[in-house]
Amino acid sequence: MSCVRHRVALALMPLLLLVACEREQRTFEAPVDERPTVQAALATELQPVTGNSVGGKPADPKSHAYREENNAQSLADGKRIYIWFNCNGCHAHGGGGMGPALMDEQWTYGSKPQDIYRTIVEGRPNGMPAFGARISEAEIWKLVAYVRSMSGLAPSDAAPSRDDDLAARVPENRTKPLPPREQKP
């Protein structure tokens, strides 16, 4: 009996290979004909979030928000862009400074991908500049995904596990998901 069970278990083992297979998948962006307006980008990208999933996980697997958040390369790219474009100049490595902390559960302008997208593209009062004209569409979504991973809102099998330089924080893939708390400005 147990022999049969072993065999069945062995036969099912190859299925493990399919686990998290989207993690490493690369797609190469084609240029969009015209830069979408924020409303258009958000309308086509993001579906209404149903249920009470932690931090409004993107639901549609075809959306940028979902793809980038579940892809190790996109999150790693987001992490590099975060440094390259000097986000750490104000937000440090997530601990905050001149700008608010990004690794805690407090979200002044919302934790959902569409909220973060809007924050980056349009800017926010009291100092957050509008980067809409400065960062390409694909890179913004990578940044959105990385910012969410800083407080553990991205899947831990895709989030970065180390820094390129001296470790400045607990790696993103070991950050405990913090239930976001909306905080009014």
85 binds another protein (CB under 8 A): yes
- Which one, 107 or 141, has the nearer CB to another protein? 141
26 binds another protein (CB under 8 A): yes
Contact 183, 107 (CB under 8 A): yes
Sole binder of another protein in the list 138, 143, 159, 178 (CB under 8 A): 138
Contact letters (x/-) for another protein, 104-133, by CB under 8 A?
A: -----------------------------x
168, HSE (Cβ side, Cα atoms, 13 Å): 15
Query: Taking the complex as a whole, how short is the minimal distance between the CB of residue 54 and another protein, in angstroms?
Result: 26
**Exposed / middle / buried, residue 59 (Cβ in 10 Å: 0-12, 13-18, 19+):** middle
24 binds another protein (CB under 8 A): no
134 binds another protein (CB under 8 A): yes
Sole binder of another protein in the list 4, 5, 19, 34 (CB under 8 A): 34
What's the rounded Cα separation, in Å, for the pair 135 and 120?
9
33 binds another protein (CB under 8 A): yes
Query: Taking the complex as a whole, how short is the minimal distance between the CB of residue 133 and another protein, in angstroms?
Result: 6
147 binds another protein (CB under 8 A): no
164 binds another protein (CB under 8 A): yes
What's the rounded Cα separation, in Å, for the pair 94 and 115?
18
Contact 137, 35 (CB under 8 A): yes
Extract the tokens encoding 103: 């690794």
Our separate counts of H helices and E strands in the chain read 7, 2
19 binds another protein (CB under 8 A): no
Amino acid at 96: G
Nearest by Cα to 177 from 54, 19, 30, 40: 54
The residues that touch another protein, with contacts defined as CB under 8 A, are: 25-35, 77, 84-85, 133-139, 164
